[in-house]
């Protein structure tokens, strides 16, 4: 099967930012997934360089347009390399191959009467590269919701393309192909726009010369949207190129929602006029917004340097965040606090800790040699069934271009793997010689779970499978999509190594970009508390209230008490929270999982007195945020007056043992 996917071509008027990166990372994940399926994939991206805004930006930087865009284009390519973008072609609209096709199409449309010369008089927005009728302006400015800037009145001789001629044909196509424009909200928006009536499109300019000349009238330059949209077939060497014959029509054009109108109206009509098949799907994703609801864009001056984020957190981590946060049909929210919360919770706590502790137990109990799989029990059979269910669910999600949903499905499997560790308690099995075969089965299952997790996440985090294969002593060829739900693929007898943490926990206070009062709080799925409730909890936890002879509270039933999940936890590290007198940040291990807990005990204990001590943790307390740190539980302490003592466990009990 062939699979042709494209991003829009981006304006190289300044370096790419995190919003730009989402489109390309999403397209890359889909391209990688289809390669794993065995499809013949062609993935196109590039830059749109023939625009008046490029000329003005270059002038503002005291440069000529060509020199200026060459430098910015290199930044795009560097970013795509840093993000492991596996594009097959990078098209620049200043390339001769593109010029040739645009001039060919312009001439053909003119000869068949779909392009004609007239005079244009109207309002032009340079940043949007769009002409507007006066009745469309909002208070005399560009009506684009993401723009609102000044427009200028232009009057010049121009060529026009007969959009109106194909209005009814386009409406029929959209109605007959409900999958053509996705998601549904974009489809409905485009239907309303088209039904409102299409005006013929201005497709040439004479007031500047940077761009593609009209071949039979060289004082005219082809206007940006007719020029830019043709990249999707000029890159394939339309009309006679082998790639064009092989890959067109495109399977997916993916882009931000602000340019869906050009792709869902102008581009299909150009193709209709040329009698070329239309692309199968035009998908308009949402924007990444700041926490105050503003779009991340160069013009707003609120962009986040993508290279800095990648250097700080790693390519796979940033790819995961971008894909996981953007739900279908909605906008995503970006803040660096948001990034750290997501990476610590999903990658460090869930994924990374499972891999780390599983490998550590094989090293500890079997000298790093993967044991033979014994008799599978109900828990192993449940994992096997879940892997099959998750693989199918991921495939269905990606069919509807929903990488966030696909990752959510994968994390169902990751969560079940972590639960499997707690259920099987290999540290207890290791103490019983008669349970040796059972321990072998559990340890082997751990390794198969890691392999399956590597396969499932391969399209989204391509740097992860090679690292996992190195830990498992495997060749990367083991990453085969058809084996994502097959068990027994891993050979016993191979030697594994623990290695370093795949995703070390991030200290959020080190990188926070906002004042604590403005920090976006990201809650777990089961958290419904409001920011006001979170603040109240923070204040309650930060102060240790002491009442002399505090009265005993009202009686509760045994069922109410049973709702508390009290666990033994080992303190791995301790440090005082900066700018506080009372708060101590603890890293504790509970059944192999590392959690962060903030406790008001700093006045009573030195950090070194706590390390390697075993304490009692309220393990099922909803997380809350204290001084920018997410606290995942509460340790028990007794207090009277100015005296406080943490309740510690002195018996040889493992971290995770239940307190009853």
Regarding whether 476 and 340 lie in a shared domain, the answer is yes
User: Please, which residues have CB within 8 angstroms of residue 561's CB and are 6 or more apart in sequence?
Assistant: none
Instruction: Answer with the one of 462, 483, 504 that is the final residue of a domain.
Output: 483
Q: In angstroms, rounded to a whole number, what is the distance separating the alpha carbons of residues 293 and 514? A: 15
Residues 373 and 436 in one domain: yes
Per DSSP, the three-state class of 126 is: coil
DSSP characters over 525-561:
TT----HHHHHHHHHHHHS----TTPPPPPP--HHHH
How many angstroms separate the CA atoms of 549 and 306, rounded? 56
| Residue 629 parent element (H or E) | strand 629-631
Answer with the one of 422, 452, 483 that is the final residue of a domain: 483
pLDDT score of 53 more than 80: no
For residue 476, name the pLDDT band (cuts at 50, 70, 90). confident
Please check whether residue 500 lies inside any domain of the structure: no
In a domain? residue 376: yes
Q: What is the number of other CB atoms lying within 10 angstroms of the CB of residue 378? A: 7
The predicted pLDDT at position 516 comes to 32
**Pairwise CA distance, residues 85 & 32, whole Å:** 9
Considering the domain architecture, whether residues 468 and 550 belong to the same structural domain is answered as no
pLDDT over threshold 90, residue 350: yes
Do 478 and 545 lie in one domain? The reply is no
Least confident range of 66-80, 81-95, 472-486: 472-486
62/198: higher pLDDT = 198
Q: Tell me the angle at which helices 436-457 and 378-399 cross, rounded to the nearest 10 degrees.
A: 0
Lowest mean pLDDT among 197-206, 341-350, 427-436, 562-571: 562-571
425 against 338, higher pLDDT: 425
- Nearest CA-CA partner of 236 in 277, 291, 206, 204: 277
Q: In a 3-state reduction of DSSP, which class is residue 123?
A: strand
- One domain for residues 454 and 531: no
Same-domain pairing of 475 and 340 = yes
Distance CA 258, CA 49 (A): 19
Q: Point out the domain boundary residue: 483, 509, 539.
A: 483
Taking residue 369's Cβ as centre, other Cβ atoms within 10 Å add up to 15
HEC profile for 473-498?
A: CCCHHHCCHHHCCCCCCCCCCCECCC
| Number of alpha carbons in the 13 Å side-chain half-sphere of residue 324 | 22
- Do 398 and 535 have their domain in common? no
Most confident of 59-73, 111-125, 448-462: 448-462
pLDDT for the residue numbered 357: 94
The DSSP letter of residue 648 is B
* Positive or negative torsion for Cα 453, 455, 456, 461: positive
CA dihedral 320, 321, 324, 330 (to 10 degrees): -140
Whether residue 642 is contained in a domain is answered as: yes
At 292-341, the pLDDT tens digits run 545 555 444 445 567 888 988 999 999 999 999 988 778 887 888 888 99
458 vs 286, more confident: 458
Cα 324 to chain centroid, rounded: 4
In a domain, 419, yes or no: yes
Q: Please name which of 312, 317, 309, 308 lies closest in space to residue 502, comparing C-alpha atoms.
A: 317
> Is residue 127, in this structure, part of any structural domain at all?
no
The CATH number given to whatever domain includes residue 588 is: 2.40.50.140
Position 245 in a domain? no
> Would 158 be classed as within a structural domain?
no
User: What mean pLDDT, rounded, does the chain reach?
Assistant: 85
pLDDT band at 475 (very low <50, low <70, confident <90, very high): confident
The domain tally of the chain equals: 2
CA nearest neighbour of 439 among 528, 362, 516: 362
How far apart are the two ends of the chain, measured CA to CA in Å? 58
How far apart are the C-alpha atoms of 56 and 64, rounded to whole Å?
Answer: 10
What is the C-alpha to C-alpha distance for residues 208 and 638, in angstroms, rounded to an integer? 78
Q: Are residues 544 and 426 in the same domain?
A: no
Res. 532: pLDDT tops 80: no
Tally the residues of the chain. 660
Q: Is residue 91 part of a domain?
A: no
- The CATH code of the domain that includes 381 is 1.10.730.10
Residue 509 pLDDT level (bands cut at 50, 70, 90): low
Candidates 191, 18, 213; CA nearest to 103 is: 213
Query: pLDDT grade, residue 23 (50/70/90)?
Result: very high
| pLDDT at 209 exceeding the cut of 80 | yes
- Structure confidence at residue 297 (pLDDT): 52
Same domain membership, residue 432 and residue 366? yes
Cβ neighbors of 423 (< 8 A, separation 6 or more) are 379
Both 478 and 603 in a single domain? no
Q: Which domain holds residue 544?
A: 527-659
Percent of the chain at pLDDT exceeding 70? 87
Mean pLDDT computed over 422-437: 94
What's the average model confidence in pLDDT over 10-32? Answer: 87
Distance CA 569, CA 659 (A): 10
**pLDDT for res 290:** 60
Same domain, 343 and 451: yes
Structure token pair of residue 329: 């049909």
**Number of other residues whose CB lies within 10 A of the CB of residue 363:** 16
462 & 556 share domain: no
């Amino acid at each position: 099967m062939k699979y042709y996917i494209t991003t829009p071509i981006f304006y190289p008027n300044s370096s790419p930012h995190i919003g730009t990166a989402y489109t390309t990372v999403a397209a890359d994940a889909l391209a990688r997934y289809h390669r794993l399926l065995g499809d013949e994939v062609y993935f196109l991206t590039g830059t749109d360089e023939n625009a008046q805004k490029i000329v003005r930006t270059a002038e503002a930087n005291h440069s000529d347009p060509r020199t200026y865009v060459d430098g910015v284009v290199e930044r795009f390519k560097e970013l795509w390399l840093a993000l492991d973008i596996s594009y097959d072609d990078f098209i620049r609209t200043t390339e001769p191959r593109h010029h040739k096709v645009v001039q060919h199409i312009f001439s053909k449309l003119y000869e068949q009467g779909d392009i004609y010369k007239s005079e244009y008089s109207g309002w032009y927005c340079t940043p949007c590269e769009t002409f507007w009728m006066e009745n469309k302006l909002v208070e005399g400015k560009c009506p684009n919701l993401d723009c609102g800037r000044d427009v200028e009145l232009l009057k010049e001789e121009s060529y026009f393309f007969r959009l109106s001629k194909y209005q009814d044909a386009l409406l029929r196509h959209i109605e007959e192909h409900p999958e053509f424009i996705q998601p549904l909200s974009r489809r409905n928006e485009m239907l309303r726009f088209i039904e409102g009536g299409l005006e013929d499109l201005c497709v040439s300019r004479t007031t500047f010369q940077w761009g593609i000349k009209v071949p039979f009238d060289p004082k005219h330059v082809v206007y940006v949207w007719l020029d830019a949209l043709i990249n999707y077939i000029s890159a394939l060497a339309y009309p006679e190129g082998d790639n064009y014959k092989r890959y067109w029509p495109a399977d997916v054009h993916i882009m931000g929602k602000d340019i869906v109108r050009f792709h869902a109206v102008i581009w299909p009509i150009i193709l209709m006029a040329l009698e070329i098949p239309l692309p199968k799907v035009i998908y308009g994703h949402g924007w990444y917004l700041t926490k105050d609801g503003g779009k991340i864009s160069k013009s707003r001056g609120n962009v986040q340097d993508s290279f800095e984020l990648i250097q700080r957190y790693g390519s796979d981590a940033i790819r995961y965040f971008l894909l996981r946060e953007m739900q279908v049909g909605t906008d995503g929210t970006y803040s660096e606090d948001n990034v750290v919360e997501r990476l610590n919770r999903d990658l460090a706590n869930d994924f990374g800790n499972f891999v780390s502790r599983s490998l550590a137990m094989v090293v500890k109990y079997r000298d790093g040699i993967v044991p033979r799989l014994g008799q599978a029990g109900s828990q192993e059979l449940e994992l096997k069934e879940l892997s099959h269910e998750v693989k199918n669910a991921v495939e269905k999600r990606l069919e509807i271009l929903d990488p966030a949903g696909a990752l959510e499905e994968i994390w169902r499997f990751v969560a079940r793997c972590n639960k499997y560790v707690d259920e099987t308690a290999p540290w207890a099995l290791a103490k019983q010689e008669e349970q040796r075969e059972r321990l072998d089965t559990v340890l082997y299952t751990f390794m198969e779970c890691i392999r399956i997790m590597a396969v499932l996440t391969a399209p989204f985090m391509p740097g992860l499978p090679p690292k996992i294969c190195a830990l498992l002593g495997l060749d990367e060829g083991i990453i085969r999509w058809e084996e994502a739900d097959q068990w027994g693929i891993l050979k016993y007898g191979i030697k594994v190594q623990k290695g370093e943490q795949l995703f070390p926990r991030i200290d959020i206070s080190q990188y926070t970009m906002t004042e604590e009062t403005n920090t976006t709080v990201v809650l777990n799925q089961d958290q419904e508390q409001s920011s006001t409730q979170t603040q109240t909890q923070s204040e309650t936890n930060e102060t240790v209230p002491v009442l002399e002879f505090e009265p005993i509270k009202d009686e509760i039933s045994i069922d109410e008490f049973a709702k508390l999940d009290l666990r033994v936890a080992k303190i791995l590290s301790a440090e005082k929270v900066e700018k506080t007198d009372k708060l101590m940040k603890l890293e504790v291990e509970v059944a192999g999982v590392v959690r962060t807990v903030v406790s008001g005990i700093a006045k009573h204990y030195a950090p070194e007195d706590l390390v390697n001590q075993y304490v009692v943790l309220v393990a099922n307390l909803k997380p809350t945020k204290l001084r920018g740190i997410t606290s995942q539980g509460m340790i028990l302490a007794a207090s009277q007056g100015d005296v406080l003592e943490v309740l510690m466990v002195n018996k040889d009990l493992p971290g995770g043992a239940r307190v009853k």
